[in-house]
Structure 1
Amino acid sequence: MEFKEVRLHTKKFDELYTFYIAKLGFPIYEESQTHFTLIAGRSHLTFVRSEQLSFYHFAFNLAVDHFDEAKTMIKQLVKLNEEDGNDEIYFTYSNARAFYFLDPAGNVVEFIERRDYSEEIKEGFSVSRILDIGEVSFTSECVIEHASTLLKAGIPVRDGDDLEEDQLNFMGEMGRYLLVGPLGRKWLFSNQIAEPHPVQINLTNGLVLEMTLNGEVEVR
């Protein structure tokens, strides 16, 4: 499973455009009065103009050995989030390192190097050398029901995990995951409390996954 395009809603449209394009330097794929699309390696990230305040968690996958360079560069531009006095974390379970920050819309943005899945790139880090989108949040009032819908569509639960109603469930494989979790949980390295907001995900295999405005999950 790989993310071809992720479409998120935002009321902070102009602020996000300035933040990602002018400040962080993401290459742009297309833009209009209603949306703009960033190039994130093999993935596209689209922000759709909305009248509703929305925020999400999403992660960008880094190449092997790009973590320290990426952290140094981003830290010069944005204040990194901290938890227990640390501005990065090592996940023993997945052999991965990550750091986090908030964008102007309150999205919890993660840069992560997954040693078991990341590719090697000889050139030094820049945002144009991000590999792809590695995680996207699906916050739901019906975690098991919606996770089961994704299972039937061929989206597996991460190896070794079991589905749980009251926890964050990693669905996908090879370092690309939908994070299906309940309302009210705190996102790691932030004070943001998970809320359901509309999101559309186009996978490279042709599937379209959508969290609708009324909180339902659709697969087509």
Structure 2
Amino acid sequence: MLFKTLQLYTSHIQEQKDFYSGLLGTDIIASGAEQFEVRIGNTALIFKKSSENCYYHFAINIPSYQIKEAHQWISAKTKVLPFHGEEIVDFKNWNAEALYFYDPSGNIVEFIARKNLNIPSDSKFDSGSFMHISEIGLPVSDVRSTYEFLNRECGLAKFSGDYQRFCAIGEETGLFITIDYNQKDWIPNDDKAYPFPFEAEFVNQNRSFQMIFENAGIKIY
């Protein structure tokens, strides 16, 4: 599974533009008063203006062995959020290492280096090292029924989880991080998870899908 586009909403459109194009140095694909689009590796990330202060959790895949270089690069630009006292988090069950930081909207942005993908890089780490968006948080009231729906409609499999509080749905190149927002919050700071609307286009098993998540419900086209 691969995310082609991800559209999020923000009440801080100019601050977001300055952060992603200026501080992080990502390329702007399109820009206007109401929205802008930047390139995150093979994914187009779109921020659309909203009167509501929305925030999300999403992750960016980076080369499999560059988490230390990524930490050095991002910590010079913004604060890295510790989890249990560690700024680089070792997810042993996933054979991956990750770090977290906020953007101006309060989105929890994650860099994750997945060793199972075994993608090396000898290049100096910067925004050109971003491979693609690999996760978007999906807060729902019923994790199991959400998994069953995405499995039936899109052919997505369970990657990890218990179907109760948490289920990562998809594969390491693209995951819906599905949580029961009545039972679980976002790591690393226990930010309350809310079902803010978003849209995503993704490819799975050579089929293209569009997801619209709004009013805590999912539509697939």
Cα separation, 2, equivalents of 1:74 and 1:152: 39
Unaligned 5+ segments in structure 2 are none
1:163 Cα offset (Å): 2.0
**In the alignment, what sits opposite 1:203?**
202
TM-score, normalized by length of structure 1?
0.93
Change (3 A) 1:6 1:118: farther
Conservation of the 8 A alpha-carbon contact between 1:200 and 1:211:
yes
Cα separation, 2, equivalents of 1:15 and 1:191: 24
Conservation of the 8 A alpha-carbon contact between 2:134 and 2:172:
no
**In the alignment, what sits opposite 2:178?**
180
Q: Which SS does the other structure have where 2:54 is aligned? A: coil
The letter of the residue matching 1:173 is E
Give identity over the alignment, percent. 25
Residue 117 in structure 1 maps to residue 90 in structure 2: no
Instruction: Give matches, 1:34-45, under 5 Å.
Output: 34-45=34-45
Q: Which SS does the other structure have where 1:83 is aligned? A: coil
Deviations 1:110-157 (A, max 9, x none): 001000015223322111221111110111123322222111121111
Cα separation, 2, equivalents of 1:4 and 1:48: 17
The letter of the residue matching 1:123 is S
Change (3 A) 1:189 1:44: same
Unaligned 5+ segments in structure 1 are none
CA RMSD of aligned residues (A): 1.4
Which 4+ residue blocks in structure 1 deviate beyond 3 angstroms? none
**In the alignment, what sits opposite 1:90?**
90
Is 92-101 or 23-32 further displaced after alignment? 23-32
Conservation of the 8 A alpha-carbon contact between 1:12 and 1:105:
yes
Is 110-119 or 180-189 further displaced after alignment? 180-189
**In the alignment, what sits opposite 1:168?**
166
Conservation of the 8 A alpha-carbon contact between 1:62 and 1:118:
no
Instruction: Give matches, 1:97-108, under 5 Å.
Output: 97-108=97-108
Change (3 A) 1:118 1:58: farther
Deviations 1:18-66 (A, max 9, x none): 1111111111111122211111111111111111111100000011222
Conservation of the 8 A alpha-carbon contact between 2:103 and 2:109:
yes
Number of matched pairs: 216
- Counting strand residues as a fraction of each chain, which structure ranks higher? 2
Conservation of the 8 A alpha-carbon contact between 1:60 and 1:133:
yes
Is 26-35 or 195-204 further displaced after alignment? 26-35
Conservation of the 8 A alpha-carbon contact between 1:66 and 1:124:
no
The letter of the residue matching 1:155 is L
**In the alignment, what sits opposite 1:190?**
189
Deviations 1:52-82 (A, max 9, x none): 1111000000112221111101000101111
Is 50-59 or 28-37 further displaced after alignment? 28-37
